[in-house]
Structure 1
Amino acid sequence: MTTNSSVPAPFDIVGFDLDGTLLDTSGDLAAAVNHALGSVGRPLLTVEQVKPMIGGGARHMLAQGMAATGGCDEATLDMLHRRLLGYYEEHIAVLTRPYPGVLDALDVLAARGARLAVVTNKLEGLARKVLGALDLTARFDCIIGGDTMGPGNAKPSPKPIYEMLARCGGGTAAFIGDSIFDIEAGKAAGLPTVACSFGFLMQPVAGLGADAVIDGYDELIPTLERLAER
């Protein structure tokens, strides 16, 4: 990893997904899903069962959890979604931690002049709350949530990626994520994309179609450097 701050960052802007990319939120999200499931007498799910359900927002995650335990109608899903969000907001950073090497990678990118951003399908308010609880908010030039751009404009739409570029002042950019939503959004916006093999994968990482894959954050900056040379 090149730490010399006199060497420019490989991209002017580096955007990151949140859940399964920057933060391992699986324990707290699984607890919130199980709170909703248990409140209506459904079987509880393991963290490993919940991980592939993460990435499309809380309602999408809960819908899959309900489907896995017997299904439900839209009215019940709406009610349980509110219940899940209330619980999650109160327990947002009990188990959640940055992945190993995240802070070092962010420090190096920032020292080399990159502007850093979060683009997540988590509600913006919850994204800001969890980043604040972990004292990470100030590291990012912008934080865009699944509701920031209005209904229907979360990833895989490229609109939040375009908004990231605008808020960060434009320039070259790359996007890092762990789900098909992340990679499709980045590619649709014309950005090189990096997939995290350690994230909450819904499918084999090779099937995401990213331009590169990393197995840990020690690989991120060398990977970005290679992508920038293409």
Structure 2
Amino acid sequence: MAQIPFDIVGFDLDGTLVDSSLDLAAAVNHTLSTVGLPLHEVDEIKRFVGKGTRVMLERALKASGDYTPELLDELTPVLMAWYQEHLHDHTRLYPGAAEAMAELRGRGIRLAICTNKFERFTLPLLRALELEPHFDAIIGGDTVGKAKPHAEPLHEMVRRAGGGRCVFLGDTSNDIDGAKNAGLASVAVSFGFVDVSHELGADAILHRFEDLVTLLEGWER
């Protein structure tokens, strides 16, 4: 069995570890519908995700052609309240993720999450999916007061997970740029919310979770 040269494998959440696109899209469209604005397709809303709930809504409003800071302030609590009640109606792990995580943990690798989703959504979602016990550190978008691509939340993720060499998986420039800023190795997943994984400049690209362990075993030391 080949050795994995990392102590920690870190994951982004939305679009990397879990497919939450249907629930996020439903939250955005519910919010837009309350003020009679045009709704968006799921694939369009996927591209709005990455910098937290408020920015997701801001992007949706701009795409609807009716953005103002005042409207964003008015509708952000509407979205958050609705999403809080529908966190896991359809959200699921990506295929192969559970098995990859189990193998990594079985080989002594610590797992961690660093997401720009606020803790008030992240922690209940992980508990509902029975994932929380698998992680040595969970960092949300508001945990340290800064979000990816800033290095600080990733540094805190590594610290809370016990330190050591870490590789970070993500699907957006926030994830890969954040890993670079934090001095971490990075893997861009091609199955996430952003379909330009080859343009993100990651150290490697992952097309399916079934290949994650093999990818890490073959990592250049």
Q: Per-residue deviation at 1:10?
A: 3.2
Q: Which residue of 1 aligns with 2:99?
A: 104
TM-score by length of 1: 0.93
Residue 8 of structure 1: CA displacement? 5.1
Counterpart in the other structure of 1:157: 150
Partner of 2:121: 126
Q: Distance in 1 between matches of 2:49 and 2:206?
A: 19
* Percent of pairs with identical residues: 49
Segments of structure 2 that go 5 or more residues without pairing to the other structure are: none
1:206 corresponds to which of 198, 201, 215: 198
Counterpart of 1:52 in structure 2 is: 47
Aligned match of 2:175 in 160, 174, 182? Answer: 182
Q: Of 132, 142, 147, which aligns to 2:137?
A: 142
Q: CA deviation at 1:178?
A: 0.3
- Cα shift at 1:108: 0.4
TM-score, normalised with respect to structure 2: 0.97
Structure 1 partner of 2:216: 224
**Aligned residue pairs, count:** 221
Alpha-carbon contact 2:10-2:169 (below 8 Å) kept: yes
SS at match of 1:218: helix
Give distance in 2, aligned partners of 1:128 and 1:32.
18
Which whole-Å CA distance do the structure 1 matches of 2:50 and 2:213 have between them?
24
Uncovered stretches (5+) of structure 1, i.e. residues with no partner: none
The 1-side partners of 2:212 and 2:153 are apart by 22
CA contact (8 A) 2:187 2:206 kept: yes
Q: How does 1:49-88 map to 2 (within 5 A)?
A: 49-88=44-83
Q: Assess if the C-alpha contact under 8 Å between 2:171 and 2:190 holds in 1.
A: yes
Q: What amino acid sits opposite 2:156 in the alignment?
A: E
Alpha-carbon offset, residue 225 of structure 1:
2.0
> Paired residue for 2:161?
168
How far is 1:223 from its partner?
1.4
> Deviation per CA, 1:69-113, whole angstroms, max 9, x where unpaired?
113211210121111010000000001000000000000000000
Greater than 6 Å deviation, 4+ residue runs: none
Q: CA RMSD in A?
A: 1.2
Cα distance in 1 for residues equivalent to 2:128 and 2:75: 25
CA distance in 1, matches of 2:160, 2:71: 38
SS at match of 1:53: coil
In the alignment, does 2:187 pair up with 1:194? yes
